[in-house]
């Protein structure tokens, strides 16, 4: 089981889109069993894979908020919420693709769990105590390093950092690298490594994009994937159908690029 978190402290850089398309391609075209965990209270990955109506039905009883122990008093449940109860199987029209959805309440996770011991390891304990059987777990993180993404990092083997090659999305990169380094010192059994940075939403008409890609490849703060993901409106349109573009527009240029990225990811992972 290989776990990859998608992190950048900047929003709007293609974290969610990358998680959804990479998960879909791994499941649909490489026959891998894949679990997407939506760790972002914005619930964008969730609603890219299931409908709003479907989410409404389960959102107050079985989401990542329940896995992390947020709703205990509300439901008078004790410690034994089973992570499997939060898994929705075969989402986005893909049989091998499962989802643990998110909840808007996750915004208050840090406040709610402030007095809980080992609160960074709740997800790890849940997974250790279950017999989940996936080839890949992909985690969509919010643009920060609060408690939810910390729970993701503890169980992650790798981090992928989507970056729009402009100035602002790159500003937080050294900070992110240093934070993760510091973090690993305090969590000795956390073995997470940066797998790479992927340039997203690249627009050939902007000189700044070409310049920033050259600069960031040279700086090597984080190693860069050679595949880049260009601007392609089709990858943003498929959310209307609550399915990945890989399913709705399988031949669009964005999906073709994500296919190349998946090949590169599989080559990079030992
Ligand atoms: N390659 C792309 N081409 C065009 N639009 C994209 C592309 N990747 C992402 N988008 C759009 O950009 C917006 C932000 O992407 P998203 O994946 O939600 O970023 P994040 O999760 O980092 O906030 C969304 O509207 C998404 O549909
Ligand atoms: Mg997102």
The full set of domain ranges for the chain reads 2-268
CA nearest neighbour of 265 among 164, 135, 168:
135
Q: Which residue has 């890989």 as its token pair?
A: 246
Cα-Cα-Cα-Cα torsion 46, 47, 49, 54, nearest 10 degrees, comes to 90
pTM of the model: 0.96
Distance 45 CA to ligand 2 centre (A): 7
HSE, side-chain direction, 13 A CA sphere, residue 74: 10
**pLDDT, tens digit, 9 for 90 and up, residues 3-54:** 999 999 999 999 999 999 999 999 999 999 999 999 999 999 999 999 999 9
Ligand 2 ion: residues within 5 Å (CB): 15-16, 44
Ligand 2 centroid vs 76 CA: distance in angstroms? 31
Closest ligand 1 atom to residue 257 Cα is 1
Per residue in 201-243, pLDDT (tens digit) is 999 999 999 999 999 999 989 999 999 999 999 999 999 999 9
Ligand of minimum distance to the alpha carbon of 10: 1
In CATH terms, the fold of domain 2-268 is Rossmann fold (3.40.50)
**Is 200 touching ligand 1 by the criterion CB < 6 Å?**
yes
Pick from 169, 91, 81, 79: nearest CA to 117: 79
Instruction: For residue 13, give the ligand nearest its CA.
Output: 1
Testing ligand 1's pocket by substitution, the residue of 5, 11, 12 carrying the most ligand atoms inside 8 A of its CB is 12
Cα 195 from Cα 4, distance rounded (Å): 9
Give the confidence band of 171 by pLDDT, cuts at 50, 70, 90: confident
- Residue 134 CA to ligand 1 centre (angstroms): 26
């Amino acid at each position: 089981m290989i776990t990859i978190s998608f992190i950048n402290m900047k929003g709007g850089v293609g974290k969610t889109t990358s998680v959804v398309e990479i998960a879909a391609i791994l499941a649909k075209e490489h026959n891998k069993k894949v679990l997407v965990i939506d760790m972002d209270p914005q619930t964008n990955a969730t609603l890219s894979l299931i409908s709003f109506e479907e989410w409404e039905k389960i959102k107050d009883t079985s989401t990542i908020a329940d896995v992390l122990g947020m709703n205990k008093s509300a439901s008078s449940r004790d410690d034994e919420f089973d992570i499997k109860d939060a898994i929705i199987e075969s989402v986005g029209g893909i049989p091998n693709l499962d989802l643990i959805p998110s909840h808007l309440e996750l915004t208050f996770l840090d406040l709610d769990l402030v007095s809980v011991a080992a609160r960074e390891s709740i997800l790890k304990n849940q997974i250790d105590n279950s017999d989940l059987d996936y080839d890949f777990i992909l985690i969509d993180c919010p643009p920060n390093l609060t408690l939810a993404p910390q729970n993701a990092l503890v169980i992650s083997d790798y981090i992928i950092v989507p970056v729009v090659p402009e100035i602002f999305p790159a500003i937080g990169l050294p900070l992110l690298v240093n934070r993760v380094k510091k973090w690993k010192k305090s969590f000795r059994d956390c073995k997470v490594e940066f797998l790479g940075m992927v340039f997203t939403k690249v627009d050939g008409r902007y000189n700044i994009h070409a310049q920033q890609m050259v600069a960031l490849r040279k700086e090597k703060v984080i190693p860069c994937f050679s595949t880049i993901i260009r601007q392609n409106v089709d990858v943003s349109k498929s959310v209307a159908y609550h399915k990945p573009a890989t399913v709705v527009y399988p031949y669009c240029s964005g999906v073709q690029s994500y296919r190349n990225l998946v090949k590169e990811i599989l080559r990079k992972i030992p």
